[in-house]
Amino acid sequence: MKIHLIDGTYELFRGFYGPPPKKAPDGREVGATVGLLRSLLALLNDPDVTHVGVAFDHVVESFRNDLFAGYKTGEGIDPDLFAQFPLAEAAVAALGLVVWPMVEFEADDAIATAAIRFRDDPDVQQIIVCSPDKDLAQLVAGQRVVCWDRRREIIYDEAAVMEKYGVPPASIPDWLALVGDSADGIPGIPAWGAKSAATVLTQFGHIEDIPADLAQWPISAGRARRLAENLAAQRDDALL
C-alpha cells in the first residue's frame, strides 16, 4: 500500500486564494473549504490512493514561537480564511479521512511523525508527502518517501531534492537556516545564498560541523571569512 500525507493547511490556503469566493446559505465564506474538498476528491479518484492522513495547523502558532520571536504567526491571515479552519477539519473528517488538527505542534510535525513511523513498515510500498513545502524535503528517503507537488505535477525523490537544493534531504534544515525561509519567518544568515550554503553543506553536512578553520572551507578565503563572521554572529538562531 501507499500512504498519502496531505498538508491540509497548504491546500486550504490554495483553495482560498485560487478559485473565486463562495458563500454558504448563511453568508459565511466557504470557498477555501470547497477548494480543499475538490482537491482531495480528485486525489481520492485514483484507485491507488487508499491510505490518507490530512494534517492541519488548527492554530498557526506553535512551540516554535517561544523559541524564535520572528517565527510565523497568524497575523495578517484573512479572517474569512481563518474562520474556515474548523470547518475544513470537519469536512475532511466527513470524507472518512484521518485528520490531525495540530495545536502545540504544526501540521509539518504530524506529517513528519507519520512518515518516520511508517517508512520502515514492510506493508508500506511508498509514502507520498503531498506538499511543496521546502521543510518537508528533509523527509525524503530514496524513492520510498517522496514529496509530491500536485499543482506542478513534480515528484521529488532523493535525487530530485539534491538537484533542486544542492544538498541531500538530511541537510535541508541547515540549508533553510542559512538561506532563510520567508514562509516560516526564518530570515537566514546575511550573505548566505543558496549556492554558498549548498557548497559548504555538501562538504560538512550540518551547521554544527562547519569548522572554524576557514582553510577547510570549499570556497575562497575572502568569501569564507565574511560568511563565517555572519554565521558566528547569529549561530544560536541558525541552530534553532
Chosen domain end from 137, 165, 193: 165
The answer to whether residues 188 and 88 belong to one domain is: no
The pLDDT assigned to 60 comes to 66
Same-domain pairing of 36 and 142: yes
Q: Give the chain's mean pLDDT.
A: 91
User: What pTM was computed for the model?
Assistant: 0.89
Task: Please report the pLDDT score of residue 92 as a whole number.
Answer: 98
Same domain assignment for residues 87 and 118? yes
Regarding whether 96 and 137 lie in a shared domain, the answer is yes
DSSP the chain: -EEEEEEHHHHHHHHHHSSPP-B-TTS-B-HHHHHHHHHHHHHHTSTT--EEEEEEESSS--THHHH-TTS--STT--HHHHTTHHHHHHHHHHTT-EEEEESSS-HHHHHHHHHHHHTT-TT--EEEEE---GGGGGG-BTTTEEEEETTTTEEE-HHHHHHHHSS-GGGHHHHHHHH-BGGGTB---TT--HHHHHHHHHHH-SGGGS-S-GGGSSS-HHHHHHHHHHHHHTHHHHH-
* Same domain for 118 and 6: yes
Write out pLDDT tens, residues 144-159.
999 999 999 999 999 9
pLDDT at 236: 82
Q: Which of these three, 144, 165, 186, is where a domain ends?
A: 165
Of the three residues 119, 140, 165, the one that is the final residue of a domain is 165
State the residue range of the domain holding 72.
2-165
Residue 199 sits in a domain whose CATH number is: 1.10.150.20
Q: Looking at the structure, do residues 217 and 134 belong to the same domain, yes or no?
A: no
pLDDT digits (tens, 9 = 90+) for 62-110: 556 566 565 665 566 788 998 999 999 999 999 999 999 988 889 999 9
Q: Is the pLDDT of residue 141 over 70?
A: yes
